[in-house]
Amino acid sequence: MKPIDFRRIARAVGAVETPACMDGFAAGVSTDSRSVKCGDLFFALRGERFDGHNFVPRAIGLGASAAVVNERSLERMPEWCRGKLFVVDETRKALLRLAAEYRSSLKTTVICVTGSCGKTTTKDLLHAALSAGMNGIASRESFNNDVGVPLTLFDIEDSHDFAVVEIGANAPGEIAELAAVAAPRIGLITCIRPVHLEGFKSLDGVARAKSELVDALPADGVFAFNPEEHGMLRTASRFGGALLTFGTLPCCTMRMEGVETGRNSIRLSVRGTRFKVPLLGRHNAMNVTAAISVGWLMGVGIESMAEALKSFDGPKARMKMKDLGDVTMIDDAYNANPASVMSAIAVLAEMESPGRKVLVLGDMMELGTRALDFHRSVGRAAADMNPDLTVSVGPLSCAATSTMVARGVPQSRVMHFDDTSDAAIHIASILRSGDVVLLKASRKMSFEKIREAIERKWSASRRLEAAEKKA
C-alpha cells in the first residue's frame, strides 16, 4: 500500500475527531489486532461475535499509527489512546470511504469478478493467467465483502498492472456498493444460479443483483459473461461499453471446445490452443475459459496462459483432491448451493475408484422457503448417480437421503447424522481401502471436522503401514 497521510484520511472517513498530531501517516490498513504491523491504521470493526474496539489499545501498543473508532465507543477508550484516534459515525462505512479514496489515486486496471458459483476459483485462475505477462494482485482467499474488498484495494501499489477483486453478496445493493468503491474497468460474471434466495428471492433477483457490477462499469469498460447464463443477455443489452463473451456457443468471443475430464485435471481448447489445468470437474472448464478470455483481452498470449495454468493450484476446500494413501478425499466443502452440489456429484460419478464412491452431503444454507425442495432435488441427482454410500449431515440434508430411498436406493446405502462432530467420527471409521469420498456442504456445517477426522485416521494408517514395511 502507498502511504496515506492523516489529513487525507480525516477527509476521506469524515472524522469528527482526529489524532492530536496530524503529521502522521498510515503505511497499511488492518482490521485484526493480531496481525497489526508498525505504521498500520487500525479499524475497529464490530462483528456478530467480536468488537474490535476492545482491541484498540493492543493495536496501538503494537505500533499502529492510529485507529478508527465509532463515536459511541469513544468513552471506552483509555486516555493514553485518545490522541491517536479518528472518530467516525460507523467504522465499516469509514473503511469503504477510505478504500474509495485510495482507489481513486491508482491507475491500475481493476477487474471485478462476481457470480453465483466459481468466483474464487475464477479469480485465482485469472490472476495466474494474467501473471504470465503482467504484474498484479488478486483478493486473498475469499475476501469479497465490505471488509475484504477494501483490504484488497489497499494491497494495490503503483507497480501493479492489474488487480483482480472478488465481490460477493447476500442481498440486493451489496454488489453496487462494493463495485462503486472498487471502480472496475472490467466486470466478469461467472454464472447465475439459485443461491442466497433468502435475500434475492428468485433467479431473476440473483441476476439483477449480480448485474449491479455491470452498472458500475465506466462507458469505456468491458463486461465479460457467458450469454447462456440467465438474464445476462438482458444485462448486456443495456450496457453501453464493450462486450466479451465466453462459452460454448459459436458466437462467443472465446469459445470453449473439446472438454475432457480426468482424475487430476481438465482439458479444453480455446482459439486452437489446448489447455490442461489441474482442476476437477467439467464445470471448472467454464471458469478456465472465463479467465482466459479476460487474459486475452488484456494482451496476454494464449500460449503463455496455457503454460502458466499447467501448474495452477486451486483455492482450498474447492474440489481439492487429496491422496491419503488407500483413500482419496475430495474436499469441496467451502460452500454449497444446488448448482455446485450437482457439479460435485457429477465429479464423483466420473471418478475412477477401485473401492466405493462415498458421497457426504451437508445442509445448503440461505435457500429461503424452497430449501427442502432444493435438498430433495439434490437427493434425486444423487439417486441417479447411485453412490455406494451416501451420508447426509444436518436437518435439511436429511431430505436428500430420504428422497434417495424413496427413489429406490437401498436404506443400507444411506445414513444420516444431525451433528457434524458425530458424523466425522463415524465416516472416518467406515471408510475402506480404495474408497473415494467427496465432502460437500455450506461453510456453517463445519465440514473441516470431517476432513480432519479422515486425514487423522488415514494419514496415520499410511504412516503405520510404512513403518511396518520398513521394519
pLDDT, mean of residues 71-78: 92
Give pLDDT, residue 262. Answer: 86
pLDDT, mean of residues 168-193: 97
List the one residue out of 47, 91, 56, 52 whose CA is nearest residue 77: 56
Q: Which three cell numbers stand for residue 422?
A: 458425530
Sheet containing 389-393, strands listed edge to edge, beginning at the edge strand earlier in sequence: 320-323, 328-331, 436-440, 357-362, 389-393, 414-417
Q: Which three cell numbers stand for residue 401?
A: 437421503
Q: Is 268 within 8 Å of 291 (Cβ atoms)? A: no
In a 13 Å sphere around the CA of 301, the CA atoms on its Cβ side amount to 6
Mapped onto helix, strand or coil, the DSSP state of residue 384 is helix
Q: Which three cell numbers stand for residue 49?
A: 461475535
76 vs 85, residue with greater confidence? 85
Q: Is this model's pTM higher than 0.95 or not?
A: no
pLDDT, mean of residues 277-294: 96
pLDDT bucket at 142, cuts 50 / 70 / 90: confident
Q: Which three cell numbers stand for residue 69?
A: 473508532
- The yes-or-no verdict on residue 467 having pLDDT over 60 is no
Mapped onto helix, strand or coil, the DSSP state of residue 29 is strand
CA angle 94, 98, 99 (to 5 degrees): 115
**pLDDT tens per residue, range 389-422:** 999 999 999 999 999 999 999 999 999 999 999 9
Give pLDDT, residue 49. Answer: 86
Give pLDDT, residue 141. Answer: 86
pLDDT, mean of residues 75-99: 96
Give pLDDT, residue 470. Answer: 54
- The yes-or-no verdict on residue 461 having pLDDT over 70 is no
Share of the chain above pLDDT 70, in %: 97
pLDDT, mean of residues 176-196: 97
pLDDT, mean of residues 344-364: 95
Return mean pLDDT, the chain: 95
- The yes-or-no verdict on residue 308 having pLDDT over 90 is yes
The neighbouring-strand residues paired with 328 are 323, 436
Task: Give the type of residue at 222.
Answer: V
Q: Which residues contact 434 (CB under 8 A, 6 or more apart)?
A: 326, 327, 353, 354, 355, 356
pLDDT bucket at 451, cuts 50 / 70 / 90: very high
38 vs 460, residue with greater confidence? 38
**pLDDT tens per residue, range 214-266:** 999 999 999 999 999 999 999 999 999 999 999 999 999 999 999 999 888 99
Share of the chain above pLDDT 90, in %: 92
Q: Which domains does the chain have, with CATH numbers?
A: 4-90 (3.40.1390.10), 106-309 (3.40.1190.10), 320-470 (3.90.190.20)
pLDDT, mean of residues 3-7: 97
- The yes-or-no verdict on residue 352 having pLDDT over 90 is no
Nearest-10 crossing angle of helices 119-130, 283-297 = 40
